[in-house]
Amino acid sequence: MTQKKDTSTILAIESSCDDTAAAVLKHGKILANEVANQKIHEQYGGVIPELASRAHTQNIVPVVDLALKKSKVTINEITHIAYTLGPGLKGSLMVGTHFAQAMANTLNIPFIEINHLQAHVAALYIQNPKPVFPFLCLLVSGGHTQIIKVNDYLSFEIIGETLDDAVGEAFDKGAKMLGLPYPGGPHINQLAQGGNTHFFELPKTNLPDFNFSFSGLKTALLYHLNKQKEINPNYIKENLKNICATWQHSLIQNLIRQFEKAIKQHQIKSIAISGGVSANTELRKAIEQLGIKHNCEIMIPNFEYCTDNAAMVAISAYHQIIN
């Protein structure tokens, strides 16, 4: 594929869920990547869409302003505005969309609409400008769990996905049952360190293709906790580390089983993870081991590019411009 000459300076905006983010990319390099996390949802155990939209409205101007200041790029140097079109929460997306389109119209420059999942995959190119194609990407976030065969910067196919909950959602719902704040994934990850990964039994899901299912596991955790709490009301408090370690291990093993099957059947020698759950330390280790076992190249994003951010939106737009 011949690439066009790049003269772009992109301002990117991401507002698909509960993080308001802005980034600046100049000539293929990320110069600023700012995120305003919304703490308001912690107390509710999940994202409240109306509160998320309101917080985006409050955060968007300061976040864009900060990204521009940090990048030392002036508003008149920007050649394109990229923003997340979807999928995501309607009201949240609308804040980013309106802001980005209004700014592009005012500056009389084009805007580029970006698919959120494509952006999570593109996050890998920030550190790997010349990835080995095709590669298999395990995309794991709060809303999606997919195995994607990435053929080129702009071409990919989904070969497997969750039939019910996303794995991030399973982390968060498990955390909620344990009384941990939202988002629960990072709390489970931290508490699981050094815990017993086989403290109690959880079922293994084994679907015939490359799909995933987490709802049965979630029910099994709920039943286990209810039963144990009847015997000992302090069961969770006294065993939190081991429960987190077992829950996390079970979720990761379910991901790895299907991903390994896909690697074998597609005979692909380049693998990657992306999305919020790719920040999970047990998953990162498991992917490294899988790469060694199957002699594959591995791509794992830096922590700042795992959870929602605008740098991934910017790099995605950049590849649309040059390819």
- Write down the H helix ranges in the chain: 49-71, 90-107, 116-127, 167-177, 184-192, 215-231, 235-266, 281-293, 311-322
Residue 141 within binding range of Zn ion, rule CB under 5 A: yes
Size of the site for Zn ion (CB under 5 A): 2
Residue 172 binds which entry of Zn ion, ligand KG4, none, CB below 5-8 Å type-dependent: ligand KG4
71 binds, among ligand KG4, Zn ion, none (CB under 5 to 8 A by kind): none
How far, in Å, CA of 148 to CA of 86, rounded? 18
Q: Which of 20, 38, 71, 141 binds ligand KG4 (CB under 6 A)?
A: 141
**Least distance from Zn ion to the Cβ atom of residue 299, Å:** 17
Distance CA 27, CA 77 (A): 12
Closer residue to Zn ion, CB minimum distance, 172 or 308: 308
Complex with Zn ion: residue 26 or 116, whichever CB lies closer: 116
Rounded to 5 degrees, what are φ and ψ at 297? -70, 145
Nearest distance from residue 89's CB to ligand KG4, in Å?
10
Q: 178 or 277, CB closer to ligand KG4?
A: 277
Residue from 138, 279, 287, 299 touching ligand KG4 (CB under 6 A): that is 279
* Closer to ligand KG4 by Cβ: residue 45 or 183: 183
Q: List CB contacts of 160: < 8 A, sequence separation 6 or more.
A: 146, 147, 209, 210, 211, 212, 258, 262
State whether the Cα torsion 163-168-171-173 is positive or negative.
Answer: negative
Place of tokens 């498991």: 286
Would you say 17 or 150 has its CB closer to ligand KG4?
Answer: 17
Neighbours of 229 (CB within 10 A): 12
Binding of Zn ion by 308 (CB under 5 A)? yes
DSSP state of 43: G
- As a residue count, the chain comes to 323
Contact, 87 vs 143, CB < 8 A?
yes
**Amino acid of residue 152:** D
Q: Are 11 and 46 in contact (CB under 8 A)?
A: no
For the segment 158-177, give every residue that binds ligand KG4 (CB under 6 A). 168, 171-172
The least distance separating ligand KG4 from the CB of residue 164, rounded to whole angstroms, comes to 15
3-state helix, strand, coil in the chain (%, to 5): 50, 20, 30
Site string for ligand KG4, 239-278 (x = CB under 6 A): ------------------------------------xxx-
Q: Please, are residues 132 and 271 in contact by the beta-carbon 8 Å criterion? A: no
Q: Minimal distance in Å, beta carbon 226 to ligand KG4?
A: 23
What burial class does residue 269 get, using C-beta atoms within 10 Å of its C-beta: 0-12 exposed, 13-18 middle, 19+ buried? Answer: middle
Q: Which of residues 175-194 bind ligand KG4 (CB under 6 A)?
A: 183-186, 189
Subset of residues 70 to 109 that bind Zn ion, contact rule: CB under 5 A: none
17 binds ligand KG4 (CB under 6 A): yes
Residue 142 in the binding site for ligand KG4 (CB under 6 A): yes
* In contact, 21 and 123? CB cutoff 8 Å: no
The CB-of-296 to ligand KG4 minimum distance in angstroms stands at: 22
Mark 100-139 with x for binding to ligand KG4 (rule: CB under 6 A) and - for no binding: ----------------------------------------
Residue ranges binding ligand KG4 (CB under 6 A)? 17, 141-143, 168, 171-172, 183-186, 189, 275-277, 279-280, 307-308
